[in-house]
Amino acid sequence: MREIKFRDGFSESAWKSLVVKSLRIGWVEGLEKASKVLPPSIVKPLLIGGLFEDTFPASFEELNECLEEIETKNYEALCSRETHHGRGYTEEFCDMADEACQQGPLVGGDIMNKLMRKKSNLTWLNPRVYNCLYTWAKITPEDVGVKRQPLHMEFLGMPTNILDGHTYEGKRRGRIVALLSGHYENHRTIGKRVMKEGWDKIREEFMTDTLVRPAWIEQTLFN
């Protein structure tokens, strides 16, 4: 059994989830906090993967701009970029789930070699994200420059909606899918809501979410 690593009272998987969900919802302070707890070697690959799972750059120029924002930690600009959820691509993104999960791992390397390394500054992508890369390359979004207002909220603790089945804490509580989870059908739900309501209502739910006490307190008091 793998040892669970903890940082500042939460599992490393919780901080990784914070990176992913903060980009998804556009939470600047969430990204800033996670980047102080986790090293760049963890944060940067997660954010680059999120460019294809969420941000969906509409040109190679936009992709390079996003990569620069990740490199310089310009999270205000990165979180200001509208995701596919608010641009009408999510239904197609989710409809391609089976195809992408089957074909992405097979052709992702070719996409990197024949397309990404020639037309962008991206030289490496975690193969786990090849399904999203495949989808992005096939959809080829063209709506350049679509923005949203980033979310500003002080980081006062870990929202429970961060702690889904991708985290130690979420698995321990039996909470597999939460508000911002990246499962395909949950992406579909987020996309439908954002296209109908904008980001405000989802963000309101997120901002009023309960905060979880650090694991070391739980371990001390209840073990």
pLDDT in tens, 40-92: 999 999 999 999 999 999 999 999 999 999 999 999 999 999 999 999 999 99
Please report whether residue 3 resides in a domain. Answer: no
Residue 103 CA to residue 153 CA, distance in Å, equals 39
Q: In this predicted structure, what is the pLDDT of residue 18? A: 98
DSSP alpha helix (H) spans, the chain: 12-25, 28-37, 40-50, 60-72, 75-79, 90-95, 97-111, 117-119, 130-139, 168-173, 184-197, 200-207, 215-222
Can you give the residue range of the structural domain that contains 172? 12-141+153-218
List pLDDT tens digits, range 133-192: 999 999 999 999 999 999 999 999 999 999 999 999 999 888 889 999 999 999 999 999
217 — pLDDT class (breaks 50, 70, 90): very low
| Domain assignment present for 78 | yes
Residue 97 lies inside a defined structural domain of this protein: yes
Query: Which one has a higher pLDDT value, 166 or 221?
Result: 166
Report the pLDDT value the prediction gives residue 213, as an integer from 0 to 100.
66
Per-residue confidence band for 105, with pLDDT thresholds at 50, 70 and 90: very high
Q: What is the pLDDT of residue 209?
A: 84
- For the chain, give the number of residues: 223
**Has residue 40 been placed in a domain?**
yes
Beta bridge partners of 27: 151
Residue 116 lies in a domain: yes
Residue 1 covered by a domain = no
* pLDDT band of 212, cuts 50, 70, 90: confident
pLDDT at 221: 34
The radius of gyration of the chain from alpha carbons, rounded to an integer in Å, stands at: 17
Domain count across the chain: 1
Q: For residue 147, is it within any domain?
A: no
| Residue 157 domain flag | yes
DSSP label at residue 23: H
